[in-house]
Structure 1
Amino acid sequence: MNASATTAPDAHQRAAMRRAWIGFCALVFGNFMAILDIQIVASSLNELQAGMSASSSEIAWVQTSYLIAEVIAIPLSGYLSRMMSTRVYFVLSAVGFAFASLMCAMAWSLPSLLVFRTIQGFLGGGMIPTTMAALFMLFPPEKRMGPIVLVSMASTLAPAVGPTLGGYLTNYFSWHWMFLVNLPPALLISSIVWSYLDQIDKPDWKLWHIIDWSGLVSMGLFLGCLEFALDEGPRHDWFSERSVLLATITGTLSAIFFFWRSFTSLNPIVNLRVFANRNFAVGSVISFVVGVSLYGMVYLIPLFLGQVRHFNSLQIGETMMVMGVAMFITAPWIGRLSAKMDTRVLVGIGLVIASFGVWLNSHMTSAAGPEDLFWPQILRGVGLMCAMIVMSQLALSTLPLTEMKNGSALFNLTRNIGGAIGLACINTIMDWRFAFHWQHLAALTDPARAPVQAMLAGSGAAMQGELGGQSGAAAIALLQQKIRLQATTLAFNDMTMLLSGLILSVLLLLPLIQKVQAPAAPSPDSH
């Protein structure tokens, strides 16, 4: 009698945990898909530009529109998921994401594509933080490390494998498949979440009647203008472009009003008071820096391979895949380690490994290839995965459950904002360092210098048979091309050295983190 009474609750608990895992895996895949969509498109903008008959400045808006909408949706997701419930909000986001993806593939012009990309970005942004918040509602503390590993893998793997998948789809199919590939998984995860997560939380429709509309509008203007200025600024010499200046002024004024409303409203659209929690505040700063380094290196390495080595998108993707594989293999081991040692030390180890991996890339030559990037990418992948998995737990586990959705949204936002600010700074600094190295190399290769004259004469003689009287001009053009390649390589090295130092700098914040009891390592039974 007692045995059967004991067995029944155990069986019920196992069944409930099984349902939680199935539903949660669907949430994680939605998170992965939303982040992946940025990198898939980023790696194949040239093909999309040809398909849309657009200029390079016009096609850049395909990314900008998505990122602006996503960065607005992420902090708003906490409020919307409380109002609609996690289940309803995620399913609406996933189904809407699938529909917007279909419309992107069917877009008949660039303006129509930009509208659908904006919708896609807003709905994709809703799926990203909802997953982490659901984790803390679905699993007890002792069973959270496995889910945390999965979420961290999705967040960091997606930027790493995106260029590979984007290159493959555009090389073997067409640019339309960058969007069509979203349809089956988005619809599948929608049905799974709807079926398996029906008990996670309940909607609170009263929140609709007390929305802080002025706070919502000011937040949208602040984040949208910030993303626009950071994206467009490096391309247009910042404030010399009137639209960038106007966006900066509008964003600054909106930010002031938004912060004021957040601290004075009884029901703010985003509760910034969670930053009073020390672990959350420090974790968000580290998440910001990880965003700078993760998205920065995912941007810099394809830039180097494309401009210096002239790799196509598929070759770049295959080279970048190494980091993704390293993350995938090491993530479960990091989860186990976190249960056996001080998690603050583990974050520090991860940051040191990631910094060393980035530093190794600061000694590249213009002939560097995949073999030179192999070990740096492995170290960077292992280090960033280690830092993100453990930092997520340290930052969010000390928040009350009532603030989990809001906290998860803000934690994800810091990583995305870090990526946006990082890319803007990287572009600007790269331009400065390129100009510096160009001037230095141009002075050394002045045609008035005897060694340079001898080199030009040798190059011209080698091309005399093919080009005749044009061989002299061709030799000078070849020299200028070599200068450009070397200046780009040196600027790349400078930037990676700076990123390496930035990662190391946040080690100073680790003593501020309060120790948190590590959850138990994931066991086969918990899966």
Structure 2
Amino acid sequence: MSDATLPGDRAASPPAAAPPSGSFIDADGRPVPWMMVFLGFGGMIIGQFMAMLDIQIVASSLTQIQAGIGATADEISWVQTIYLLAEVVIMPLTAYLTKMWGTRPFYVVAVIGFSVTSVAVGLSTSVGMMIFFRAAQGVFAGAMIPPIFATAMTVFPPERRLTANVLVGLIVTLAPTIGPTLGGHLTEALSWRWLFFINVPVGFLVIFLVGRYANFDKPDPSLSKGIDWWGLGLMTVFLLSMQYVLEEGATESWFQDDVILWLSVLALLTGAAFIWRQLSYWQPIVSLKPFRDVNFSLGIVMTFVTGVSLFGGTFLLPIFLGQVRGFSSAEVGTVMLVSGLTMFLSAPIAGRVVRMVDARISMVLGFALAAWAIQLGVRVTDEWGFAEFFTLQVARGLGIMVAMIAAQQMSVSTLPVSMMKDASGLINLIRNVAGAIGLALLTTVIGHQTAVHYADIAAAASTANATSAAMLDNLTAIMAGRGAPDPEGAARKAFGAMLNRQATVLAFGDAFAALALGCWAAVVLAFFARPGKPGAVAQGGH
């Protein structure tokens, strides 16, 4: 069966009729002013912002949530983990579902579900209740993210497409960055329950805008026949197993834990079976055909790197500032706000750069700038704070913004419109999985390198070292002056804490180096992309 005759292709493309100047032909064949189109698209963007914000908005308020529902430290971590697990599972299905039901009804249902489950999470009185409704919230959130990029690349003509793509990139980068800051202030001003209740009024706005102005395509009910239930089951088990391994592997010593080991085997087997099923079944729920395009495959790699860099940088800085510097949530939020503001203010600049030059040049410039900025963190000390991280955050934010927009443009530059929804689901899935992999790798690097550096420093700072011996004597005298019952033991404990602090700082430097290395690798890969023909993605559309 050719690409042109695949079920759902007619629903994946915008109306083919040429619209009058300054207007768009909607799914019912009526001319609509572009301002109305942007209102519908803007509603979808607000929905995407809500969905992505809720990933991190609870990060700075987990202690309050834990106390509110009586959860243990292990249980409360699932408030974030279950959301990501559910989100990842639904993302690849959005292309199939939006073709079958149409973008507007699908999105409205997702927003209604997200709003209702947000209220349910906010009203939770036990950890079991919260985890259940948080999982449901994650499913609806994951459904709200991929349709945005597909709409940007199919509804808008080439001269407006990059503007729409810049808006998408802005939300993707801004929401995770400001999430902890916004969540911390909202909890202090009201209560942790308002982290979820706040979604309701925003949800009403999204439902109105999307329901009124987002009539972009027609549904294809024929796709409801012949749904690949085996493929759906294999994909669900594969993604859930993989995401759990990535989320919990570092804390469970990876394959030393039996659960992690067997879930890794299960993910490998079901992943291979899922790919085979999608390549052999006549109506796959996740089309892998976009991977035949060289630019898309390279773009996926670039998207993976930007995902690791975005979520990895957002992970490293708060952990360092909290653990090493002892900053409060508000102080961490103030430092992290630099990244958010940089990405917000640089979005128009990034869009202009990508519009002016070849996407490959933009990717090289963006990834090189991000790599250089992240590499500054290799020299991190235990005295770094707002001023020292300022240049790193500004340059990294600008570089990631340029690289991400260019990577998205290149990914779809040579794809037909009929593959746009499938491509969008895959791009968003890869970005989220990249974030999980990045966090798992960075957590492992920090843990392993802290132990290595501590052993090296402890060996160099033995009692045979005159400087170390003098420092230990001074600490013993200080502890004795404070009335410690065992001054020498207390001094050794304090000395060990100092060594561990220095080892941790060196480990964070190694983590920054690993992050920078990934960006430098993306710089090299960018040279292998093919230049896309102007307007190539518009084929079959306007």
The residue correspondences of 1:488-499 to structure 2 (distance < 5 A) are: 488-499=504-515
Please tell me whether residue 181 in structure 1 is matched to residue 198 in structure 2. Answer: yes
SS of structure 1 residue aligned to 2:217? coil
The residue correspondences of 1:223-262 to structure 2 (distance < 5 A) are: 223-262=239-278
Any idea what the Cα deviations from partners look like across 1:120-179, whole Å, max 9, x if unmatched?
111101111111111123211121111010000001111111121122122333221221
Please tell me whether residue 505 in structure 1 is matched to residue 521 in structure 2. Answer: yes
- Inter-partner Cα distance in structure 2 for 1:468 and 1:219: 59
- Relative to structure 1, is the Cα distance of residues 448 and 380 closer, same or farther in structure 2, using a 3 angstrom cutoff? same
The amino acid of 2:274's aligned partner reads F
Please tell me whether residue 119 in structure 1 is matched to residue 139 in structure 2. Answer: no
2:364 aligns with 348
RMSD over aligned CA atoms reads 1.8
Q: Which moved more, 1:303-312 or 1:161-170?
A: 161-170
Compute the displacement of 1:337 (Å). Answer: 2.3
2:171 aligns with 154
The residue correspondences of 1:311-322 to structure 2 (distance < 5 A) are: 311-322=327-338
2:183 aligns with 166
1:140 aligns with 157
2:9 aligns with none
Any idea what the Cα deviations from partners look like across 1:284-330, whole Å, max 9, x if unmatched?
00100111111111111111001001112221111111011111111
The residue correspondences of 1:364-375 to structure 2 (distance < 5 A) are: 364-375=380-391
- Inter-partner Cα distance in structure 2 for 1:23 and 1:109: 38
- Relative to structure 1, is the Cα distance of residues 12 and 508 closer, same or farther in structure 2, using a 3 angstrom cutoff? closer
The amino acid of 1:95's aligned partner reads I
- Inter-partner Cα distance in structure 2 for 1:36 and 1:228: 21
Any idea what the Cα deviations from partners look like across 1:436-488, whole Å, max 9, x if unmatched?
01111222333454432321221232343332434333322221221121111
The residue correspondences of 1:209-358 to structure 2 (distance < 5 A) are: 209-358=225-374
The amino acid of 1:384's aligned partner reads I
- Inter-partner Cα distance in structure 2 for 1:518 and 1:354: 27
Q: 1:34 aligns with which of 51, 67, 71?
A: 51
Please tell me whether residue 361 in structure 1 is matched to residue 377 in structure 2. Answer: yes
Any idea what the Cα deviations from partners look like across 1:27-62, whole Å, max 9, x if unmatched?
111112111111112232232223232222221111
2:15 aligns with none
- Inter-partner Cα distance in structure 1 for 2:335 and 2:486: 38
Compute the displacement of 1:517 (Å). Answer: 4.5
- Inter-partner Cα distance in structure 2 for 1:482 and 1:162: 32
- Gaps (5+ residues) in structure 1? 1-7, 520-527
- Inter-partner Cα distance in structure 2 for 1:11 and 1:143: 11
Please tell me whether residue 196 in structure 1 is matched to residue 213 in structure 2. Answer: yes
| % identical equivalent positions | 39
Q: Which moved more, 1:14-23 or 1:378-387?
A: 14-23
- Relative to structure 1, is the Cα distance of residues 297 and 11 closer, same or farther in structure 2, using a 3 angstrom cutoff? closer
1:444 aligns with 460
Give me the TM-score of the superposition, normalised by structure 1: 0.94
Q: 1:95 aligns with which of 82, 97, 112?
A: 112
Q: 2:424 aligns with which of 387, 405, 408?
A: 408
Give me the TM-score of the superposition, normalised by structure 2: 0.91
Please tell me whether residue 56 in structure 1 is matched to residue 56 in structure 2. Answer: no
Compute the displacement of 1:87 (Å). Answer: 0.5
Number of residue pairs aligned between Structure 1 and Structure 2: 512
- Relative to structure 1, is the Cα distance of residues 104 and 334 closer, same or farther in structure 2, using a 3 angstrom cutoff? same
More helix by share: 1
- Inter-partner Cα distance in structure 1 for 2:468 and 2:42: 62
Quick check: 2:353–2:402 contact (8 Å CA) kept in 1? no
The residue correspondences of 1:420-435 to structure 2 (distance < 5 A) are: 420-435=436-451
- Inter-partner Cα distance in structure 2 for 1:225 and 1:11: 49
- Inter-partner Cα distance in structure 1 for 2:497 and 2:517: 31
Compute the displacement of 1:258 (Å). Answer: 0.3
- Inter-partner Cα distance in structure 1 for 2:438 and 2:191: 31
Q: 1:68 aligns with which of 71, 85, 109?
A: 85
Q: 1:376 aligns with which of 370, 392, 396?
A: 392
- Inter-partner Cα distance in structure 1 for 2:259 and 2:484: 49
1:83 aligns with 100
The amino acid of 2:240's aligned partner reads G
- Inter-partner Cα distance in structure 2 for 1:259 and 1:19: 40
- Inter-partner Cα distance in structure 2 for 1:104 and 1:247: 28
Q: Which moved more, 1:454-463 or 1:370-379?
A: 454-463
Any idea what the Cα deviations from partners look like across 1:261-306, whole Å, max 9, x if unmatched?
1100110010112100111110000100111111111111111001
Quick check: 1:295–1:419 contact (8 Å CA) kept in 2? yes
The amino acid of 1:191's aligned partner reads F
Quick check: 2:184–2:329 contact (8 Å CA) kept in 1? yes
The residue correspondences of 1:455-470 to structure 2 (distance < 5 A) are: 455-470=471-486
- Inter-partner Cα distance in structure 1 for 2:263 and 2:434: 19
2:539 aligns with none
Quick check: 1:96–1:120 contact (8 Å CA) kept in 2? yes
- Inter-partner Cα distance in structure 2 for 1:46 and 1:446: 39
Please tell me whether residue 47 in structure 1 is matched to residue 47 in structure 2. Answer: no
- Inter-partner Cα distance in structure 2 for 1:49 and 1:11: 53
- Inter-partner Cα distance in structure 2 for 1:206 and 1:518: 34
The amino acid of 2:527's aligned partner reads P
1:388 aligns with 404
Compute the displacement of 1:507 (Å). Answer: 1.7
